[in-house]
């Protein structure tokens, strides 16, 4: 899906894979302002989704929620947060969303609330189900009416159908029926539940907070609220938190943690630690591995801000070539920035990123970014460096060539829109106009991750932890 705010040329983020979603949950053994804790936790996870935000609070009897479109400061005002505080709850979950499945409407915003025989349930989901449509159709054939188009409602409906067996059994049965990627937080009136898929594709961690616990997509959200990191929720694990403490269930025997490799390349915040790997450190090491594979004679290493900075630092450290600022970023362009005309877009590269001429003029420059998806932004950044006086521009990418879409919670273009799926490296180099082009090898990615190889790398080699549905594959081939 192409971003409707079509000013790709000015914003490097529009030539990236789109972030998935972020989830957060907090359980306290006593009444406290759990809504505000969730608010600040989601604020730290805002990079994982900017289309909608929601928070739900449980107080032992009922669940109250507020959801809105946009980032958290747009979706919530003081009065909204105050209403949730007045619920006097001790459990809360929250969600920031990017619409990987389902359109951008308030109905599709999460957490989703449902009434069951066990009482109210709220769910928030990061990921994507590859058999969600099949289960939805089966439930509809049985008379179930869906109110949204998101996978989360499929899971919630399965939980509700099995609620007579108790919430924990209902969750286990529901999760066992679905395939794909999911890191979920589920809230009843008196329990907080965390779930991670059997392949651990999407991250989820557990933290200790005052007289309770926190669940979050990334550890940076724990830091934001002052929680202490305890551990990552394991692949195929369900964590149930209530007044009796924590219980853990392994609902799948065939578990193998294969975290999405793009969490370490681009998605996660650099101050997070995911499944034992420090994100910033892996990105710096990716730059060091790039130097091993592409030792270029140059005068300056620069980055595409902000995502290319750690790898550029690593390359500079390994090569001894100075690292400096190559582009000045305008940080005050709002999300509602008016889309200019095509002619103005062609001229206005510098609205978002402007080359620092004093640094690059007369220099042989190595430009480093974390990935290339369509290549549109790369071409214009290289052109702008040449206009600023760079003698040579060598472009290095701190990840392998992206050749395949993702089916597990990342909004990726169809293969026809992936430049790496349709052109050779030399053809890409000619298209974006650099003097040389190099991509980090898959072995280089593994080396940057302390030699670990247990990652989902389907977007690079087409081999996925969970088989993609045939209709999705056919759809990509047709386009």
Binding residues are 260, 307, 369-370, 406, 456, 459
Q: Are strands 180-187 and 119-129 parallel, antiparallel or unpaired?
A: antiparallel
Please answer whether residues 421 and 415 qualify as being in contact, where contact means their C-beta atoms are separated by less than 8 angstroms. Answer: yes
Q: Are strands 327-329 and 353-355 parallel, antiparallel or unpaired?
A: antiparallel
b/e for 29-61, b at 16 or more Cβ within 10 A? eeebbbbbbbbebbbbbbbbbbbbbbbbbbbee
Q: Please enumerate, by residue number, every residue annotated as part of a binding site for Mg(2+).
A: 307, 369-370
Query: CB count, 10 Å around CB of 358?
Result: 10
Tokens for 118, please give them: 């066990």
b/e for 125-141, b at 16 or more Cβ within 10 A? bbbbbbbbeebbeebee
449 classed as catalytic: no
Query: By three-state DSSP, how is residue 251 classified?
Result: coil
Cα separation of the two ends of the chain: 12
Please answer whether residues 109 and 91 qualify as being in contact, where contact means their C-beta atoms are separated by less than 8 angstroms. Answer: no
Q: How far apart are CA 154 and CA 134, in angstroms?
A: 10
Tokens for 288, please give them: 């060091």
Runs of H (alpha helix) within 264-341: 279-293, 309-319
Q: How far apart are CA 309 and CA 369, in angstroms?
A: 8
Q: Please enumerate, by residue number, every residue annotated as part of a binding site for [4Fe-4S] cluster.
A: 260, 406, 456, 459
Catalytic residue among 21, 205, 220, 434: 21
β partners of residue 213: 27, 208
Radius of gyration of the chain (CA): 23
Residue 436 parent element (H or E): strand 436-439
Active site residues: 21
């Amino acid at each position: 899906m192409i971003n409707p705010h079509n000013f790709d040329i000015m914003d490097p983020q529009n030539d990236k894979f789109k972030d998935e979603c972020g989830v957060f949950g907090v359980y306290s053994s006593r009444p406290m302002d759990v809504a505000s804790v969730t608010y600040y936790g989601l604020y730290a996870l805002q990079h994982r989704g900017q289309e909608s935000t929601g928070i739900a609070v449980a107080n032992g009897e009922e669940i109250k929620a507020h959801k809105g479109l946009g980032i958290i400061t747009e979706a919530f005002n003081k009065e909204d947060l105050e209403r949730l505080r007045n619920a006097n709850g001790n459990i809360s979950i929250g969600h920031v969303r990017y619409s990987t499945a389902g359109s951008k409407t308030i109905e599709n915003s999460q957490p989703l609330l449902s009434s069951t025989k066990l009482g109210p349930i709220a769910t928030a989901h990061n990921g994507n189900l590859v058999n969600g449509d099949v289960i939805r159709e089966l439930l509809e054939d049985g008379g179930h009416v869906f109110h949204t188009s998101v996978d989360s409602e499929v899971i919630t409906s399965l939980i509700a159908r099995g609620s007579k067996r108790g919430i924990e059994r209902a969750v286990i049965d529901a999760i066992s029926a679905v395939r794909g990627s999911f890191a979920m937080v589920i809230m009843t009136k008196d329990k907080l539940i965390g779930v991670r898929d059997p392949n651990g594709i999407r991250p989820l961690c557990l933290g200790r907070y005052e007289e309770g616990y926190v669940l979050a997509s990334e550890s940076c959200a724990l830091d934001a609220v002052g929680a202490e990191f305890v551990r990552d929720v394991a692949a195929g694990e369900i964590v149930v938190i209530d007044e009796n403490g924590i219980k853990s269930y392994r609902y799948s025997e065939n578990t193998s943690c294969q975290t999405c490799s793009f969490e370490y390349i681009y998605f996660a915040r650099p101050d997070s630690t995911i499944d034992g790997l420090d994100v910033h450190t892996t990105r710096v090491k990716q730059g060091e591995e790039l130097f091993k594979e592409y030792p270029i004679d140059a005068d300056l290493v620069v980055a595409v801000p902000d995502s290319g900075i750690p790898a550029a630092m690593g390359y500079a450290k390994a090569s001894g070539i100075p690292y400096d600022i190559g582009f000045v970023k305008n940080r005050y362009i709002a999300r509602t920035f008016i889309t200019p005309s095509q002619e103005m877009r062609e001229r206005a590269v510098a609205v978002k990123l402007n080359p620092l001429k004093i640094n690059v003029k007369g220099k042989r420059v190595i430009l480093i970014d974390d990935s290339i998806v369509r290549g549109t932004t790369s071409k214009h950044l290289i052109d702008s460096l040449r206009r600023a006086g760079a003698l040579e521009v060598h472009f290095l990418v701190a990840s392998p060539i992206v050749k395949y879409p993702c089916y597990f919670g990342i909004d990726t273009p169809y293969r026809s829109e992936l430049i790496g799926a349709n052109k050779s490296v030399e053809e890409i180099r000619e298209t974006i106009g650099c003097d040389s082009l190099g991509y980090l090898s898959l072995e280089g990615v593994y080396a940057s991750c302390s030699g670990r190889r247990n990652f989902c790398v389907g977007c690079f080699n087409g081999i996925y932890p969970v088989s993609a549905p045939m209709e999705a594959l056919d759809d990509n081939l047709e386009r």
